[in-house]
Structure 1
Amino acid sequence: MKRQVLFALSAVALVAVPEAQAQRLDVFLTRDDVSETPAARLLGGVPCPRLSDARPLELDDAILLAVCTHPQARRAWAEARAQAAALGLATAAYLPTLNATVGTQRNTLSTTYDHSTFGAGSIRRSQNTSSRYGALDFSWVLFDFGKRDAARRQARALLAAANATQDGTLQTVFFNTAQAFYTLRDAQASLDAAQRTEAIARESLAETGARHEAGAGTLADQLQARTSYRRAVLDRVSAEGNARAATGALAVAIGRDVNVPLQIVPREFDAEVADEIGDGIDQLIDEAKRRQPNLIAARAKLDAAHASVDAARVQDRPTLSLVGSLRQNDPSYKQQPQSVPMTRSRGSMIGVQLTIPLFEGFGSGYRVAQARAQVDAQAAALHDTELQVSLDVWRSYHAVQTDSANLANSRDLLDDAQRALDMARGRYKEGVGTFAELLNAQTSLADARKQRVLAVSKWQIARLKLAASLGNLRLWNANPE
């Protein structure tokens, strides 16, 4: 009994806590199960950066800015905090409840009596009633056949799912930002290749014009050179537009306005051999099944569905509670022309209450059937997610293998195309080669440069997709040095 009294006094003290402090109160420490910031689960101890607009962005800088400011990351974090609060609510059901009611009221009753038949006329009397009352009600559920336990297990499983979803969201933001960064870098590389091709075409046009004026070349060669130059100008203008579009996409990915000027650090990709993947495909699929956030969330949701079935089964079971109340009423009666002395009433109650649900319109069976159907749905969703994760790992693994091989092939292709152009240019200057040969060499070099940019881009994105399919994206340098 002393424990109940002590708890009642503590509850009264909590009522007096200011609202702002009450909002910060976390008795059950559920906030410890959620990250302190939206990006903390991915960044660990790495702080969010404050970068100057004058400094070009590295890849890590762009990723840090994205995970720290992206609205999707903040939304996932807020949903995890909401689920942590739901776990606190489910835990609070184990503690008693204490409600206080106080009030005051005043009632006035006026009555008129007609005594005209007795020659006395009308007599009016009024009665004023005032009272002050208070009540303290106490209730503590002692046993409920596992209702609270099932609700708490469900809330904890949903919190685990929310945390896994937050991890998956951070991985998605990470991947999208890195992809936008590489897309911008590829666009800039394509623009640089288009500018080089345009410069070569301009030189060829000048050379054919000089040869035609000197009588050593034909007008057809000059017209072909001019056509090649115009095509190079069109490609360069298109590359400039692609670069501007990619700049806006990256700006949005890192939480800036689309029209904000943005610069990234340029880098040449001249790796002869790509990194090898140490583990085989089977080991990678097993790793993905252990750590992929989508799979972790799907398993947690299945656990929550099982807990929901348990809660539905015991919903119509009895509940045993400890109840008590303390009530006091101080009425005051004043009647004209006489007055009534003040009286006081006080009462208390304590007991054990058993609540037995008897009938609720056959809803219990439907509630259990609904919960079991949700378990089947979550089990199917988990299996579907496992298959999708395995497929993602399979595709990404073989994409990395293929793109790694093409990375070296594209380097060889570019070197051969450059040597072919140098040879064709030399032969044309010496007069032993044709302009068609030179033009073909220029076209081959432009195509080889595009293939090189595309090969590097596909290799980078394939590595990112493989890491994302494993749930293993982190701050790393994915570029070959």
Structure 2
Amino acid sequence: MNVKRTARRHWLWLLIVNAVLLSQPAPVKAVDIFRTDLAIPPEPSGMMLEGTDKKDTCVFDALGEMLELGEALERALCSNPKTRAAWTSIKVQAAAVGVAKAPFLPTLTGSWQKTRNDNTTSVQDFPALSSQQKATERAYSASLNLLLYDFGARRAALGNAEQLLAAAQANHDQVLQETFLNVAKDFYAAQAAFGSLAASTDIENISKESLAAASGRVNNGVAPISDQLQAQTVYAQAVFSRTKAQGDWLIAIGALMSDIDMDPRADIRVPDIEEMIMPISDFNRSLDELIARAREEHPSVRTALAQWQAALAKVDQAKAEGLPNVSMIGKYSWNNQPVSPSIGQPGLPAWASEKYLGIQVNVPIFDGFNRTYQVKQAQAQAELAKVTLDEARRKVVSNVWSSEQALRTATENVGNSASLLDIAQKSYDASLHRYLSGVGNVIELLSTQSALATARKQRVQALADWRTARLQLAGALGHVGMQSIKDGD
């Protein structure tokens, strides 16, 4: 065996070994030659927590006694199963983009074989023609294939994968916004429940004072026993309402703890719902402009649009895959299989090699109309995706309109509830003074007390409705983020 042949065989052996090594995953992280990892957010929270004061997102200390809205949102965005599932879907589609880019590169296949052969040939009645041979045989080969032209099938497949990745990214944004809204709503509901509990407790104390005043007048003989009985009835109703409010608070805080994957039995408080700065709302904005932006920028619309474009690319791919394609092919192989000169003769040491480089054209001729129906199926899926896009845009327009009107109403009622509470408080104070002075009657006192209780609860509910309506409009516009919870923005 000459030096040239040996060097060629060693080169082929090294090529096969390198190909095998490159095909294996790295111990820590596989090679991402197409850098698809750049399309994947570093955390399940995506870009939602950008701009916060935290240095390390999705890293939290132990839960304190006071739970702020910002912390609740951060915990939910990082740990909620829905956000993590949507984040993982991006990883899946990013890898699919890499799969779609791979056919643009050549494929190289290598093989190595070593066998120990024990060949025995026995010819009946002709022992001279019989033979037996033992030999160690080796074979090496490498095959190259590079697709040169396929009428756009690879490009269409890549377009489909890239659009599905864009859809996964938009869906992740949508899931983040939905999670954000749900947690914020539950937080405001907990604040409202806590405010209602505080108001019910105050009303219980006021009812107790009214009962004491009525009992004092009865004991002094200046009021009938019916005054005391009516005051006792109202006080019992106040105790009942406070007990129910206590239960509502525990249910609301339990739901909030579930959102952030924490124990609902945790002893947690939330800030008073009155601790907020009321903004001056600008309703001179063009509703047509808001709707136009939402029709194009809302995550649900972007998801549906990307899915429609992916479906169109799938149609092009299905058509192109039914057309011819042109590839460059090459192969080199070597083996040392012995050669027998004739029957009965032992094999002689030998080697053989094969090498070629050329062009291959594949032409689909007939596939039982399979391609025809694949194209029809892809076209129908594209049509369905377009209908889904139209529905997403219609729904966004409806949500923007209703959310804008709800925010207008809620903003007006915040001011109305403040005026109502001020009047109800003054009315009760006056009736209590009149009753203690012997001028008023218990019916007037209890009536103003009931009005005060209603006004306090309406005030709490108005504040909760305003904050919820504000976030709902941001969600309808597709602009939910940490800035949405900053009062005055």
Q: Same fold (TM over 0.5)?
A: yes
Mapped contact 1:153–1:304 kept (Cα < 8 A):
yes
* Separation in structure 2 between the aligned mates of residue 168 and residue 160 of structure 1, nearest angstrom: 12
Confirm or deny that 1:95 pairs with 2:105: yes
1:374 maps onto 2:381 in alignment: yes
Report the Cα distance in structure 1 between the residues aligned to 2:408 and 2:156, rounded to whole angstroms.
48
Pick one of 447, 450, 458 that aligns with 1:451. Answer: 458
For residues 360 and 352 of structure 1, what CA distance do their matches in structure 2 show?
24
Report % sequence identity: 35
1:359 to 366, 388, 411: 366
**Whole-angstrom CA distance in 2 between matches of 1:302 and 1:178:** 32
Could you tell me which of 266, 274, 291 is aligned with 2:272? 266
Comparing 257-266 and 178-187, the one that deviates more: 257-266
2-structure distance, mates of 1:435, 1:45: 57
1:261 offset after TM fit, Å? Answer: 3.4
| Cross-structure match for 2:428 | 421
User: 1:299 aligned to 2:297?
Assistant: no
For residue 256 of structure 1, the aligned residue among 256, 259, 262 is 262
Q: 8 Å contact 1:327–1:348 — kept in the other structure?
A: yes
Q: Aligned residues, how many?
A: 469
Task: Tell me whether 307-316 or 37-46 shows the greater mean CA deviation.
Answer: 37-46
Q: What is residue 216 of structure 2 aligned with on the other side?
A: 210
- Structure 2 equivalent of residue 197 of structure 1: 203
Q: 1:412 aligns with which of 419, 423, 436?
A: 419
Q: 1:82 aligns with which of 51, 76, 92?
A: 92
Residues 21-60 of structure 1 correspond to what in structure 2 (within 5 A)? 23-44=29-50, 46=52, 47-60=57-70
Report the counterpart of residue 316 of structure 1 in structure 2: 322
CA distance in 2, matches of 1:418, 1:462: 27
Query: Cα–Cα, structure 1 residues 114 and 379, in superposed 2: closer, same or farther, change >3 Å?
Result: closer
- Distance between the aligned counterparts of 1:297 and 1:282, measured in 2? 22
- Please give the per-residue CA displacement for 1:45-74, whole angstroms capped at 9, x wherever unaligned: 543352442251221121112112222111
Aligned equivalents of 1:333 and 1:126: distance in 2? 13
Q: For structure 2, which runs of at least 5 residues remain unmatched after alignment?
A: 1-10
| Deviation for aligned residue 1:330 | 2.2
In structure 2, give the amino acid aligned to 1:403: A
Distance 1:43 1:154 in 2: 30
Question: Relative to structure 1, is the Cα distance of residues 74 and 282 closer, same or farther in structure 2, using a 3 angstrom cutoff?
Answer: same
Distance 1:355 1:45 in 2: 55
Q: Which 10-residue stretch deviates more, 48-57 or 132-141? A: 48-57
Out of 167, 184, 203, the residue aligned to residue 161 of structure 1 is: 167
- In the aligned structure 2, how far is the partner of 1:346 from the partner of 1:404? 86
Paired with 1:466 and 1:401, the residues of 2 have a C-alpha distance of: 11
Q: Which moved more, 1:22-31 or 1:415-424?
A: 22-31
The farther-off stretch of 340-349 and 358-367 is: 340-349
Report the Cα distance in structure 2 between the residues aligned to 1:44 and 1:478, rounded to whole angstroms. 14
Name the SS for the 2:26 alignment partner.
Answer: helix
Answer yes or no: is the 8 Å Cα contact 2:140–2:333 preserved in 1.
yes
Shift of 1:29: 1.7
The 2-side partners of 1:219 and 1:79 are apart by 72
Partner of 1:255, secondary structure, is coil
Matches of 1:480 and 1:144, distance apart in 2? 58
Equivalent-residue separation in structure 2 for 1:11 and 1:142 (angstroms): 27
Question: Structure 1 pair 376/65, CA: closer, same or farther in 2 (3 Å)?
Answer: same
User: Structure 1 residue aligned with 2:476, among 459, 464, 469?
Assistant: 469
Cα offset, 1:437, TM superposition: 0.8
Q: Is the 8 A contact 1:42 1:474 kept in 2?
A: yes
Task: Pick the aligned partner of 2:392 from 372, 385, 396.
Answer: 385
Tell me the equivalent position of 1:326. Answer: 332
Aligned positions of 1:4-153 closer than 5 A: 12=18, 15-16=21-22, 19-20=25-26, 23-44=29-50, 46=52, 47-109=57-119, 127-153=133-159
AA paired with 2:379?
R
Shift of residue 100, structure 1, vs aligned partner: 1.0
> 2:8: which partner in 1?
none
User: Structure 2 counterpart of 1:184, which letter?
Assistant: A
Deviation at 1:258, TM superposition (A): 3.1
* 1:178 corresponds to 2:184: yes
Whether the aligned pair in 2 keeps the contact of 1:274 and 1:407 (CA below 8 Å) is no
Give the TM-score of the pair, scaled to structure 2. Answer: 0.89
For structure 1, which runs of at least 5 residues remain unmatched after alignment? none
User: Shift of the alpha carbon at 1:137?
Assistant: 1.1
Greater alpha carbon shift after TM alignment, 352-361 vs 274-283: 274-283
Q: What is the root-mean-square deviation of aligned Cα atoms in Å?
A: 2.8
Following the alignment from structure 1 to structure 2, what is the Cα–Cα distance between the partners of residues 340 and 13? 33
Structure 1 position 339, deviation (Å):
5.5
SS of the residue 2:470 aligns to: helix
Q: Secondary structure at the match of 2:143?
A: strand
What secondary structure, in the 3-state scheme, does the structure 2 residue paired with 1:41 have?
Answer: coil
Q: Pick closer, same or farther for the CA change 1:17–1:320 going to 2, 3 Å.
A: closer
Q: Offset at 1:265?
A: 2.6
1:465 and 1:453 map into 2 onto residues whose CA distance is 18
Distance in 1 of aligned mates of 2:362 and 2:278: 77
Q: CA deviation at 1:214?
A: 2.2
Question: Which residue is equivalent to 2:4?
Answer: none
- Kindly indicate whether residue 401 of structure 2 is the aligned counterpart of residue 394 of structure 1: yes
SS at match of 2:482: coil
